[in-house]
Structure formats: structure tokens, C-alpha cells
Amino acid sequence: MSKAAVVAASSAYPKPAQTFQYGTAGFRMKADLLPSVVFRVGLLAALRSRFRKGDVIGVMITASHNPPCDNGVKLIDPLGEMLESSWEAHGTSLANAASDDDVYELYSKLERDFGVKPDEKARVVYGCDTRESSPALVKALKDALDALQVESTDYGVVTTPQLHYVVRCLNTQGTDHAYGEPTLDGYYNKLSAAFNQLMAGRSNGPVTVDCANGVGGPKLHELIKYLTPGIIDVIPTNDDTATFSKLNSQCGADYVKTGQRLPPSTDARPLARYASLDGDADRIVYYYVDNSSVFHLLDGDKIATLAASFIVDLVRASGIEAFNLGVVQTAYANGSSTKYIEKLGLPVVCTPTGVKHLHHAALAYDCGVYFEANGHGTVLFSPDALHRIGAHTPKSPAEQSALASLRALTELINQTVGDALSDLLLVEVILAHKAWTPAQWDACYTDLPNRLEKAEVRDRNEYKTTDADRWGCRPRSMPWWPSMLLPGALCGRAAQKMWSGSMLRQRQRRRPTT
């Protein structure tokens, strides 16, 4: 590694007068503040790959459901999971290094601390969403990788889950647990083959999908080409990626979930199925209107309970015994969903907010179902579970049928990260197998009334929570309004009875501080 090359490349991306922090979604902010951050994340990706002895590391440039003026960047670890949390601090340190020389010195120190040799092979793949700012940020990333002589591949405009999929495929090629072909064609083929198998002899009415005017639009159009004609009619809407200002504007999963309302562009037909993706297509929510034109939201909690009930039925029908299935939620989960899962006889775990926490907890089960209420989630099958599913010998035609569906389901689900396209197909399969309308799905349980709000605070780091984010504990003099908006004050397990806002306030004040 040449100091001159790194310093010269870094000098093209001076750090603004801003403090940065690697968070749950990596770095995310106004796009004009990001060039120096993205350059330094490129250095971190190279270091991570070298530390992992040449494993492929992914870098995704996206701001998901944020407005068009924002962008972001995050790293993807070798099995398609989020960056190991202990490395987030190194990303923060690099992003905040004051000068180009400091960037080089910090990188060199991290190399020494981790025992990484400068000539160790590094491999990085990267992609971006459809934002206007993305190409310039991709260039900043590529300049960092070139300065360190990293072997890199640009996958272009992709959904976030597609890049996660590619990373895992590349790192498992030639192994007993190869995940798939590391191309977009491989991604579409894997999902569509499983979907077509699961839908054989069945069909669904049309589903209208709001693509948030983001990358999910063109990718959904591509996926549709791989589906068997006549099985399902998927109708993409809000799929304009050419007009950058339309991204996530009065559309998309966050708009629908937060406001609990239809996108203005949707003229909903009673009892028809509708879904909304977010800007990078890693989350999805469903909804419908009833015969009285009342809006009904089918969010991540509803998807989790639908998936868990279907999978546990398939496992039991296939004859596989001692199969440990659990559901992971956050404090944002509606209390009614938790009670419903418990009635299914399944364990429920609550973790702090953030996909990395849910994903880790889900790994403890043979099959772990995790979804945030916002619609971001997936289903994980352990290596042992996959082996048992593959090796199980059915004892009857009924067991054979259930087992075939279960095996296909493991291929349909993107097990690297929450994937709106994969989850869309998963929901459609389950509804087809159950022959359910959205109203019948909704009738499984009734959500406790809930409302999602945001509060502006001076410094979010001043606010601390306990009990998996279900209670605020700092500062002790926390005003009731911001504290009420901490996850624990919503309709999670800590608030399974419905309280008015004032009663929430009383409940929180009675809680001992820690």
C-alpha cells in the first residue's frame, strides 16, 4: 500500500465540518456530505476483506426510504449479513479522521492491530440505488479501492438484497453450502423457480405493487419475466426512476406504514391486494380497503405471523420432528401479534431495534422468523435444519407434498437479509395455499390501536433505553413527549393494553429508572 496513493486519492474528498457515526443502516445523511465518508468506507471494506483472508465484502450505496436528497453507504459481511457490530467503531473513526494523512495513519494502525498484511488479497463488490447522487459516490468508493489495489466488481444499480445475495453466493461458491449463482440472473432464477414450483396448480388474483419510484420498480419488472405466465398478475406502480424527485415521495412502504394510508396515486378496489416497497426494496407492507373503503394495513407483524404459521404447519405435515421454530420481534411490534404467535405455540424473542439484532437472535433457531413492523425481515434456516429438510424421508404422499413445499420455500426466501421482492412472492404463495383474501389474513388477529410519530431531539445519543428498547432510562429528566416516542411506549410487549397518550405518559413515569 502506497501512502502517497492513498493520501492523493483521499485529498479529492475532503472531510466536511461534520461528525459522522456508523449506525444501524451504516452512514446515512444528505448526499453532499457523503463523498469523504464513502471513500473511507472503501478503505474499511478493503481492510475487512483482508482481515477475512480475501472473503468478498459488499458495499451498498443507498438511503433506502429517505428523501431523494439523502444517500448512504453500508458494508455487507461475507455471508450477506450486516457488518459485524464491533467494526462499526472503526468505520466511525475513519470517517471522522481530520486529514488525509490521518486517514492513512489510522488505516495503517488498524492493519497492524488486526495483523493484516498490506499485500493480503482483498475483494469488494458494490452497487447503488437509483438516486441522482449515487454515481458520484460510486466513483469515490472506486477511487479508494483502486488506491489500495483491491479486486473489485461494480454490480451497478441493484436492490440492497440483491447485493447481499451476490456477496453470499461469491463466498460460498464450491462449498457444500453454496447459496446460488452470483449474478442477477441467478437471483431471479432461484426465486422464480421456487415460486413457480410452489404455485403449480394454484393461482392468485392481481396484486398491485407500489415500487416507491425506486430501484424495486425495474427489478420487479425483470423478476416478472421469470414467473410462469398465468400464475399471478403483478402490477407495478410508482415505478418512475427517471424523475429523481419522485423517489419515496408520497409513496413507498414507509409512507404507507407511518401514515397508515394509501399512496395518493392508488385508487384502491375493495378487497384487492396492494403492497408497497421502499426505495431500495428491502422492506414491504401489504394493505387493502374493505367494502366501506376503510384502509387496513398488513405490516411486518402480519407478514411474520403469516409466515410463521405457514412454516410450522408445513414442518408438522412433513413429519419432521423436534424442529425448533421461533419468532423475533422488536418493541415496535404490535402486542396482538405477539399474543397470536404465542397461541401458535411458538416462542417469541424481543430484541433491540435494528435488523442486525433480529438476525442474530433468529440464528438461535432451526428456523427463525424475524420482521420489524416496518416490513423489513426474512426467515432463516440453520445449516442443520436445511440438512434435515433435505435428508428427511416422507412416509406418505401428504408428507411428501409438505416436504416438497418446505424445500422450495427455503429457496424462495432470501436468507441473507430482508428482501421485498422475495417477501412479496412468499406472501403470495402462502395466500394461494391458504386460499385467503387479504381480509381473511387480516382477521387472524386485530391490531391494538397504534400510532407512529417522530420527535426532533438535540442529540439522539443522549437517550438510552433498556429491556430491548422497551423502556427509556436516560436522561432521568426525560420529557414525556420524546420518551413516549421511544419504542417501548408504543404497542410492543411492554404495552399490550391500549392506553391513551396521557396513560402512556403515566405508565412511563411510574417505571423505576435505572
Whether 300-420+431-442 and 3-157 are alike in CATH topology: the answer is yes
Query: Distance between CA 178 and CA 165 in Å, rounded?
Result: 11
Q: Domain residue spans in the chain?
A: 3-157, 186-296, 300-420+431-442, 460-510
186-296: which CATH number, 3.40.50.2300, 3.40.120.10, 3.10.129.10, 3.40.640.10? 3.40.120.10
pLDDT value for 478: 52
Residue numbers belonging to the annotated binding site = 64, 278, 280, 282
Q: Distances in Å between the alpha carbon of 298 and those of 255, 287, 305, 396, 413?
A: 14, 5, 11, 36, 19
pLDDT value for 325: 97
Beta bridge partners of 236: 209
The pTM (predicted TM-score) of the whole model is: 0.91
3-157: which CATH number, 3.40.120.10, 3.40.50.970, 3.40.50.2300, 2.60.420.10? 3.40.120.10
**Residue-wise pLDDT tens for the chain (514 aa)?**
688 999 999 999 999 999 999 998 899 999 999 999 999 999 999 999 999 999 999 999 999 999 999 999 999 999 999 999 999 999 999 999 999 999 999 999 999 999 998 889 999 999 999 999 999 999 999 999 999 999 999 999 999 999 999 999 999 999 989 999 999 999 999 999 999 999 999 988 999 999 999 999 999 999 999 999 999 999 999 999 999 999 999 999 999 999 999 999 999 999 999 999 999 999 999 999 999 999 999 999 999 999 999 999 999 999 999 999 999 998 888 999 999 999 999 999 999 888 888 999 999 999 999 999 999 999 999 999 999 999 999 999 999 999 999 999 999 999 999 999 999 999 999 999 999 999 999 999 999 887 767 677 777 777 777 766 666 666 755 554 444 444 433 333 333 333 223 223 323 333 333 2
Q: How big is the chain, counted in residues?
A: 514
> Which among 266, 259, 276, 243 has a CA at the least distance from the CA of 423?
276
pLDDT value for 474: 66
Residue numbers belonging to the annotated binding site for Mg(2+) = 64, 278, 280, 282
pLDDT value for 455: 73
pLDDT value for 151: 97
CB atoms within 10 A of CB 72: 24
Contacts (Cβ under 8 Å, ≥6 apart) of 49: 55, 56, 57, 121, 122, 123, 124, 150
CB–CB of 222/243 below 8 Å?
Answer: no
pLDDT value for 366: 97
Asked: is 300-420+431-442 a CATH 3.40.50.2300 domain? The reply is no
> Which of the residues are catalytic?
64
pLDDT value for 344: 93
DSSP 258-324: HHTS--TT--PPTT-EEEEE-TTSS-EEEEEE-TT--EEEE-HHHHHHHHHHHHHHHHHHHT--S--
